[in-house]
Copies of this chain bind each other. A is one copy, B any other.
Amino acid sequence: MRTIKLTIAYDGTRYNGWQVQKNGNTVQAELERAIEKAAKRRSRVHAAGRTDAGVHAKGQVAHYTGSSDIPSGKIPVAVNTFLPRDIAILKAEEVSSGFHSQYDAKSKLYSYYIFNSRRRDPFRERYSWRVPYELDIPLMRREAGMLLGRQDFKCFQARDKRERTSVRDILSVGIKRKGTTVRIDIEADGFLYNMVRNITGTLVDSGRGYLPEGSVEEIIGSKDRTKAGPTAPPQGLFLMKVRY
């Protein structure tokens, strides 16, 4: 038996998220089906981050244990043949049998793309959140700085999902503007459900003048989801990288 580590990209638009569920198509289900066809054996595939419905990935990492003798370098081509065009294995490596894509991850990097424009663009709105208001980027950066470090981020946790602890360590935060694209990068040791989308919604509320300067610090302190901004839509969110 060999453990294989996969790096995967997908356009999440058509999927009900990563994880296999009774209703709806998922990325995990497509991958397990394609691996079974290529390797003639069914394997469970575990991902580092269980992305939500409509969320994309450029560097999702997953692993599975299998007995097939396809050389790992040939797995991408062999499995991609059976995958729809909106999912692709970018890389496959054999790793030690103890490897676990989720538990061994040191950090994950998500990017959220905002399309800051009053005009629509069908080719960008599939992969971004169109925000028509003027955004004060320097203010958003100052507010985002308050996110750094090990803190209780209960205020950014979806109310219907509760994990044992809502303490996470945000390692880096960046906001970059290039033309009408504003990209928010957040790297952390882990993320709560909807955390990046809730942070984005709050930062946009700051940037458009809805929240006074200092609000993010206050909202974190309040531990109250209702104080934070709205949940930004899924199509702007990309899982970019998982570090081990």
Contact surface of A with B, Cβ cutoff 8 Å: 9-11, 56, 58, 76, 80, 85-88, 90, 119-123, 125-127
Contacts and interface: CB of A to CB of B under 8 A. Distances in A.
A125 B85 contact: yes
Contacts of A126: 11, 85-86
Interface hub of A87, A122, A123 (most chain B Cβ within 10 A): A122
Contact of A88 (B76, B85, B120): B120
Closest 4 CB pairs of A and B: A88-B120, A11-B122, A86-B122, A85-B125
A58 to B, nearest CB: 8
Contact of A85 (B9, B86, B122): B122
Contacts of A86: 122, 125-126
Contact of A9 (B10, B76, B122): B122
A88 B122 contact: yes
Contacts of A90: 119-120
Contacts of A58: 123
A75 B200 CA distance: 31
Contacts of A9: 121-123
Contact of A123 (B11, B76, B80): B11
Contacts of A87: 122
Given A9-B121, A11-B122, A90-B119, 20 more contacts: A9-B122, A9-B123, A10-B122, A11-B126, A58-B123, A76-B119, A76-B120, A80-B120, A85-B120, A85-B125, A85-B126, A86-B122, A86-B125, A87-B122, A88-B119, A88-B120, A88-B121, A88-B122, A90-B120, A123-B127
